[in-house]
Structure 1
């Protein structure tokens, strides 16, 4: 599988990253999916300390320890579980980040984290202090690089101007084109990579897409609009050579600053479908034009 450089870092990540949140808590099943990903050439695995109270990191670390030097492990910090374990709160303080990373290292069974990401972020945070925490971890060799996972333009701009982030993870799909408004151009100019998540929009752009459409719609699309869009895509672009999933993932990869598409997989079959989609031929100019004309250029309504 083709790999792309992540920002200005020395990390080269596969075009498809495995979003580990959907692996579940069964180690055997999860390991099977991770092994299938490795077989397909995936080297980029994204988890977070929040997922399943840290169990996800433990499963990922155990499954990857035999190939540790060959993979890129990304995890996240910032969402802190309450003491009763019944919910979490936001904590981007330096003290918490430097303590939380120690626990992630233990669960992942590794001496370093390739990409450590702030799992959100608010404009009200003490951003300078948060950056200081990441920079210290980097200088100490505990993390190799850091980034943020955010859909808030105002937060992203702060980190772009004040930190040495190499990537921004953000939601992006045919139904959520908000990053195109201002963020994509900015990140491309600064040589900061985008890692996209949610490319199939909760399964809408899959073989069972019609069954996956929420009755309440998705983003600013109603149920009827999504149904109509899928029908138009089936009529104009889907064929024996092109699936909805291919169109969705290749749409993400058609944008220059996008280094990788992180997609979840709850089965080996789903993982292989995603791998086939990213290994397919890139979209033609005509296909890209049709996809853009059939969908809406959304805009951020808050945190601008």
Structure 2
């Protein structure tokens, strides 16, 4: 597994990480024992970037990650988040990034993770009632105390990202980014590079769609992909035809469509890392191997010509505060 630097503060992570949300919420039932086994296998494969949040399963996911990394803490980069809050598992999300509460959130995460420091601590969403400078300022105090090593921010607008970076160095900015969703390329990507902020792509496989193995009809009522416009009606028909093209191009590279999608994302810059989620050891190994798929300039041009940004159809579903907020 190759490593990449995020930001200018010294953070180094695996190019392919592991997003853990689906082990605790939103993507249907999961088995904790199997999830721990997947996490431990990820470490074996050199996947160091482990991404969780206090909101995932109302703390359940952090506890799960803590179990998995026990005894192997120094082999991983633990990334977690605050700002989206749930009192109980299954509750709808609320926003809270008030400075008075951030220390408590951090200390609770440290306890659940079973560690004395968080490698990368994200503001999960900006609280519209709190200036982003105030939230990041409280996070900076945690860095000074050694509880946190690097700071990140997620799904903000450009102005918020700029203001956050002016308050304290931001090592990573996390957004949905894939062949399937490329809105942030207009403003966030160039701004992050101007500010020296690394880019972390969540849902890099289009919430599973770009693997070619997602059965939309099998999704249950608690799956958060159901409200996503891209998976319905004429949008789905269009996207399925584009997926067929992705599958064809992947075959020419001896890769799966998911691997080609991840390779495309990594080819967008050395400051980009992806955190696909999975609860399967086989899919985990497939994702990790995508780091070895090399794409030439002509390969990238062909992908752009055949399944470029305008080829896909529909708007994504995103709960809480959308990226377009300009507070």
Same fold (TM over 0.5): yes
Q: Secondary structure at the match of 2:121?
A: strand
Give the superposition deviation at 1:117.
0.4
- Kindly indicate whether residue 184 of structure 2 is the aligned counterpart of residue 179 of structure 1: yes
- Kindly indicate whether residue 121 of structure 2 is the aligned counterpart of residue 116 of structure 1: yes
Query: Is the 2:57–2:89 Cα contact (8 Å) retained in structure 1?
Result: no
Give the superposition deviation at 1:229.
0.9
Stretch of structure 1 that moved more, 292-301 or 48-57: 292-301
Task: Supply the distance in 2 between the matched residues of 1:250 and 1:62 (Cα, whole angstroms).
Answer: 30
Q: Secondary structure at the match of 2:4?
A: strand
User: Could you tell me which residue of structure 1 aligns to residue 11 of structure 2?
Assistant: 11
Task: Supply the distance in 1 between the matched residues of 2:278 and 2:49 (Cα, whole angstroms).
Answer: 14
Q: Secondary structure at the match of 2:208?
A: coil
Give the superposition deviation at 1:161.
3.4
Q: Secondary structure at the match of 2:209?
A: coil
Query: Is the 1:154–1:303 Cα contact (8 Å) retained in structure 2?
Result: no
- Kindly indicate whether residue 134 of structure 2 is the aligned counterpart of residue 129 of structure 1: yes
User: Could you tell me which residue of structure 1 aligns to residue 325 of structure 2?
Assistant: 303
Query: Is the 1:187–1:257 Cα contact (8 Å) retained in structure 2?
Result: no
Kindly tell me the number of residue pairs found equivalent between the two proteins.
303
For residues 10-50 of structure 1, give each alpha carbon's deviation from its aligned partner in whole angstroms, at most 9, with x where no partner exists.
Answer: 22100111111122464321221012101111111010011
Unpaired segments of 5 or more residues in structure 2? 25-29, 218-224, 316-321
Task: Supply the distance in 2 between the matched residues of 1:77 and 1:107 (Cα, whole angstroms).
Answer: 13
User: Could you tell me which residue of structure 1 aligns to residue 298 of structure 2?
Assistant: 286
Unpaired segments of 5 or more residues in structure 1? none
Give the superposition deviation at 1:236.
4.2
Give the superposition deviation at 1:301.
9.1
**Pairing of 1:202-281 with structure 2 (within 5 A):** 202-208=207-213, 216-218=229-231, 222-239=235-252, 241-256=254-269, 258-281=271-294
**Pairing of 1:136-175 with structure 2 (within 5 A):** 136-175=141-180
Alpha carbons of structure 1 residues 217 and 268: separation in structure 2 relative to 1, 3 Å:
same
Stretch of structure 1 that moved more, 129-138 or 153-162: 153-162
Alpha carbons of structure 1 residues 208 and 8: separation in structure 2 relative to 1, 3 Å:
same
Q: Secondary structure at the match of 2:102?
A: helix
Task: Supply the distance in 1 between the matched residues of 2:270 and 2:139 (Cα, whole angstroms).
Answer: 23
Give the superposition deviation at 1:202.
1.6
Stretch of structure 1 that moved more, 206-215 or 60-69: 206-215
Task: Supply the distance in 2 between the matched residues of 1:57 and 1:209 (Cα, whole angstroms).
Answer: 26
Query: Is the 2:212–2:243 Cα contact (8 Å) retained in structure 1?
Result: no
Alpha carbons of structure 1 residues 218 and 178: separation in structure 2 relative to 1, 3 Å:
farther
Alpha carbons of structure 1 residues 146 and 232: separation in structure 2 relative to 1, 3 Å:
same
For residues 222-272 of structure 1, give each alpha carbon's deviation from its aligned partner in whole angstroms, at most 9, with x where no partner exists.
Answer: 112212212223344533612211211011111225431001011111111
| Moved >4 Å (runs of 4+) | 82-85, 209-216, 297-301
Alpha carbons of structure 1 residues 233 and 87: separation in structure 2 relative to 1, 3 Å:
closer
Task: Supply the distance in 2 between the matched residues of 1:233 and 1:17 (Cα, whole angstroms).
Answer: 22
- Kindly indicate whether residue 70 of structure 2 is the aligned counterpart of residue 65 of structure 1: yes
Give the superposition deviation at 1:149.
1.3
Q: Secondary structure at the match of 1:275?
A: helix
